Amino acid sequence: MTLEFRERRDYLSWGRVERRPQRVARPASRRDLAPLASGGWPRLAVGLLRSYGDSCLATGASLLDLTRLDHLLAFDDETGLLTAEAGVSLGELMRIFVPRGWFPPVTPGTRFVTLGGAVANDVHGKNHEAAGTFGRHVAALTLLRSDVGEVTCSPAENAELFAATIGGLGLTGVITTVTLRMRRIASAYIDAEKLAYGSLDAFFELNAESEARFEHLVAWFDCTAGAANLGRGIFSRGNWSPFGDLEPHRDAGLLQLPVELPSFTINPLSLRLINAVYRANETRALGAHRLHYGPFFHPLDSVRGWSRIYGRAGMYQYQCVLPVPTAAAATHALLAQIAKSGEGSFLAVLKAFGALPSPGLLSFPMPGITLAVDFADHGRKTLALFERLDQVVSEAGGRLYPAKDGRISREMFAEGYPALARFARSVDPACTSDFWERVRP
């Protein structure tokens, strides 16, 4: 079958800032990908388009939407070793395997991510300190390249290409299948606890005290709070519960945000109000409780299309990681800049990364603190703030997350990812993206 390409204007990244038409094909099976093994036109494989910036766009090239390549190929119920096509979503894996007592070893903040996308971005979750990144649990993958055809990659076979593909943003070829080590669970519930804390120092103390006893750790913070309240927020921690049923999540009946809200919806006054209301609601829910994995891991998945709240201009997420020696001072400096700016949102997260090394050459996490804040695109004002934040991150020896980025400079990207030149040697000659054209060495 010949791949049929159509110009699409509805293929946008999650941030919705860039609105360039994309040339898209949706192969129905892996057989349809056969023409890719003989060179040809520039391309990029994509999934559910949950990357925030331009790493999932390829203007002037071609997108291969792999979401119809979603078959499960093999599963060992003794070991949890699963082989599946790259287009299956993490949510679908949960729906199928939670009733059998298995769960993906790492899940990001949304389950609307394909297996291939989770590998290509080497996603991380609330359990990074205990489990590391998604790529640590990938046993093998198959990759379709334009120069050598289909190859199998693992830590033992084509190891350099495997390392480049984990976190490689889809640039080393088209990931067609993934073999993943799932983890056992006894129930579909998390024994969770929420605690209020009043300052950034208190966050660091809570996190240090929680690391040894809880697998899942994350904090929401009020990005509008300054002075003595800088960094105040709600700290969540939890472990898989041994009690409860194995009922999976349900996506039917989710709320849908059908239209983009007016761009003036997010402003300094609304930010203070929304953060105050959110903090008040979360404060009423403090304490220990048993929570289904859906709202614990993926609270925003309850509203489809939630990024439309930021209006027609779209939104950015600024996510960085700061290494341990500089993390406290640099986090303080970043939060002070954000609070002073009057920009930001009610979606602001602090989380620690542990020492387990990521296997990918371009993997984002390293030991330290990661900060993630959403920002409405207010043009030059927002970009000027990011430049000030960039300076803090660079001076601290940190880096930005490519899956969330839409404007990092070539210089800052190279500075943050010392294996970039090594990675570039494994890039498929036919693969590209708007992100890669912007940052490639």
**pLDDT given at position 107:** 98
Per-residue pLDDT tens for 293-337?
999 999 999 999 999 989 899 999 999 999 999 999 999 999 999
| 159/157 Cα distance (integer angstroms) | 5
pTM tops 0.85, yes or no:
yes
Longest dimension (CA), the chain: 64
Give the pLDDT of residue 180: 98
pLDDT, one tens digit per residue, over 241-284 is 999 999 999 998 778 888 888 777 788 888 888 788 888 888 88
In this structure, the dihedral spanned by the alpha carbons of residues 152, 156, 162 and 167, taken in order and rounded to 10 degrees, is 130
What is the rounded distance in angstroms from the CA atom of residue 321 to the CA atom of residue 398?
5
Q: What is residue 265's predicted lDDT score, i.e. its pLDDT?
A: 76
Asked if residue 119 lies in contact with residue 175, where contact means CB atoms within 8 angstroms, the answer is: yes
Which conformational region is residue 95 in: left (phi greater than 0), alpha (psi within -120 to 50 degrees), or beta?
alpha
Positions of E strands within 216-265: 216-221, 233-240, 255-256
Residue 38 has a pLDDT of 80
Could you give phi then psi for residue 349, rounded to 5 degrees?
-130, 140
Q: Can you tell me whether residue 268 is helix, strand or coil?
A: helix
What single DSSP character describes residue 289?
A: E
Phi, then psi, of 115 in degrees rounded to 5? -60, -45
Three-state DSSP state, 369: strand
The radius of gyration computed from the CA coordinates of the chain, to the nearest angstrom, equals 21
> Which two structure tokens, joined as six digits, stand for 300?
């925003």
Around Cβ 153, how many Cβ atoms within 10 Å? Answer: 23
Q: From start to end of 30-165, where are the E strands?
A: 43-46, 62-65, 72-75, 81-85, 102-103, 138-145, 149-153
Type of residue numbered 369: I
Q: How far apart are the first and last CA of the chain?
A: 36
Sign of the CA dihedral running 325, 392, 406, 300: positive
C-beta of residue 232 within 8 angstroms of C-beta of residue 225:
yes
3-state secondary structure of 144: strand
What pLDDT, on a 0 to 100 scale, did the predictor assign at position 284? 87
How many Å apart are CA 156 and CA 341, to the nearest integer? 49
The first and second tokens of residue 71, run together, are 């078959």
Can you tell me whether residue 358 is helix, strand or coil? coil
- For the chain, the domains span 189-409
Q: Residues for the chain: how many in total?
A: 441
pLDDT of residue 1: 56
pLDDT digits (tens, 9 = 90+) for 375-404: 999 999 999 999 999 999 999 999 999 999
Q: Per-residue pLDDT for the chain (441 aa), expressed as one digit of tens each?
A: 578 999 999 999 999 999 999 999 999 999 999 888 887 789 999 999 999 999 999 999 999 999 999 999 999 999 999 999 999 999 999 999 999 999 999 999 999 999 999 999 999 999 999 999 999 999 999 999 999 999 999 999 999 999 999 999 999 999 999 999 999 999 999 999 999 999 999 999 999 999 999 999 999 999 999 899 999 999 999 999 999 999 999 998 778 888 888 777 788 888 888 788 888 888 888 999 999 999 999 999 999 999 998 989 999 999 999 999 999 999 999 999 999 998 888 889 999 999 999 999 999 999 999 999 999 999 999 999 999 999 999 999 999 999 999 999 999 999 999 999 999 999 999 999 999 999 999
CATH: 3.20.20.300, 2.60.40.150, 3.40.50.1100, 3.30.70.2520. Which one for 189-409? 3.30.70.2520
- Give the phi and the psi of residue 305 in degrees, each rounded to 5: 70, 30
